[in-house]
Structure 1
Amino acid sequence: MSAGATKKQGQHAADDGPLLEIMDELESLTSQDEVSFGDVLDRLGDHGLLPLVLIPALICATPLSGIPGVSMICGVMIAILSFELLFRFRRAWLPGFVTRRSIKGRKLRDGLETAEPYVRWIERRTKDRMTFLFHRPMIWVPQGLCVVTGAAMPFLEFIPFSSSLCAIAVCFLVMAMLTEDGVFFLIALLPYGAVFYLIYRVVT
């Protein structure tokens, strides 16, 4: 781990919530020249499936989505992990062609540093609201949305900004489920309107 990352983790360890703790775990991998999605799975697998869905969504919501193939791989990861979450798999599984894909540690660190202030701002404003949304059968709605969104992302790569908007929606959905905040579930629906508008502009 870089000295900067260590210092930042030390400064914020006391007040980090679940979202920032996940980001800190991911940032600890960025001292490597290349970070594979298999490395991410190994590092965060013990945290459960829900945080694992957040990681590819966070990556694709940053400028890293501009790297060719990143949106497709992140979409596949979101779809598979969300499916496993929906059907209550005990352990995460991803195909080899996904776990072998990697990105530069430096680029991953830059992307996380871009996202960190936004995630911190959001996390400080989350609280238990409309918690009925996060119990069965209502919890199937955000989980199912994550599955469908991830499956759609590889097909949306040709539409500028659409994959990033989908990833932002998934980020809000996962944040809502992690913190049981129904307001953020409702906010998560807003990017879908922008995606449908972009699709409409392309096909008409």
Structure 2
Amino acid sequence: MVDDSPGMEPEVPPTDLTALLEQIQHAGEGEERVSLEAILDSVGQRSFAPFLLIAGLITLAPLIGDLPGVPTLMATLVVLSAGQLLAGRKHVWFPRWLLTRQVSRERFQKAMGWMKRPASWVDRLLKPRLSRLTRPPAHLPVALTCLLIAMAMPPMEFVPFTANGAGLALTLFGLALLADDGLMALFAYMLTGGTLAVVVTSLA
């Protein structure tokens, strides 16, 4: 089943990591469990950058990212969103089986607390620069690179720490697009190359 509805758009689109986390923290309020659908609805379905950040942060987050199968689920999220970006869709849709994945409220809040601690420090590093690497049509190679990362993430579950590298690369790409920071995109490209090289070497 596919969810093709536009969803609830946030009143103010996130412009940095702190703003994104503030929106995500209110996902599924009042519920004992937080679904991926609630998290995605908290940031809307019009922008590729928040999807990359969500996938990267969830993969990196303790208590969530280390759960078996989570990197593969986040890879699916990236494949679907990147593919639709490349196809020129204005709204992103996801299959119901992906949207209904849930985590306990307690685990979610602990992970959010972990992610919010470095957020203000990260935001201070971000600024518009080298915009040729983030503004259209540069967002297309970013999407292709993220697609490659996502396709490599399932086997990364068997190579220690490489899923963390993939999650960090997705996070950096998301930050780069969110803040129009081409330098962050450069770091993400380099990290992607290094992580994929480790995976290929380990599985060869």
TM, length-normalised to structure 2: 0.83
Confirm whether residue 23 of structure 1 aligns to residue 21 of structure 2: yes
Cα drift, residue 165 of structure 1: 0.9
Partner of 1:129: 129
Indicate how the Cα distance of structure 1 residues 22 and 103 shifts in structure 2: closer, same or farther if over 3 A, else same: same
**Aligned 1:118-197 pairs, distance under 5 A:** 118-197=118-197
Partner SS, residue 103 of structure 1: strand
Q: Deviations over 1:34-67 (max 9, x none)?
A: 1111112222225633212321211111222111
In the alignment, what sits opposite 1:48? 47
Aligned to 1:112: 112
Superposition misfits of 4+ residues, deviation over 6 angstroms? none
The answer for the alignment partner of 1:70 in structure 2 is 70
In terms of mean alpha carbon deviation, does 176-185 or 144-153 score higher? 144-153
1:36 aligns with 2:35: yes
Range that drifts further, 154-163 or 174-183: 154-163
Cα distance in 2 for residues equivalent to 1:153 and 1:203 = 13
Q: Which segment is superposed worse, 67-76 or 36-45? A: 36-45
Query: What is the alpha-carbon root mean square deviation over aligned residues?
Result: 2.1
Please say if residues 24 and 39 of structure 2, whose CA atoms lie closer than 8 Å, have aligned partners that are also in contact: yes
Identity among equivalent pairs (%): 22
Change (3 A) 1:46 1:65: closer
Aligned partner of 1:4 in structure 2 is none
Contact 1:78/1:150 (<8 A) preserved: yes
Structure with the larger helix share: 1
In structure 2, the residue corresponding to 1:72 is in which secondary structure? helix
List runs of 5+ in structure 2 lacking aligned partners. 1-13
* Pair 148,197 (structure 1): closer, same or farther in 2 beyond 3 Å: closer
The change in CA–CA distance for 1:147 and 1:196 in structure 2 (over 3 A counts) is: closer
Unaligned runs of 5+ in 1: 1-15
Q: Are 1:162 and 1:198, in contact at CA under 8 Å, matched by a contact in 2?
A: yes
CA contact (8 A) 1:35 1:102 kept: yes
**Are residues 194 and 112 of structure 1, via their aligned partners in 2, closer, same or farther at CA, if it must alter by over 3 Å?**
farther
Task: Specify the alignment match of 1:12 in structure 2.
Answer: none
Higher mean displacement: 134-143 or 121-130: 134-143
* Number of aligned residue pairs: 189
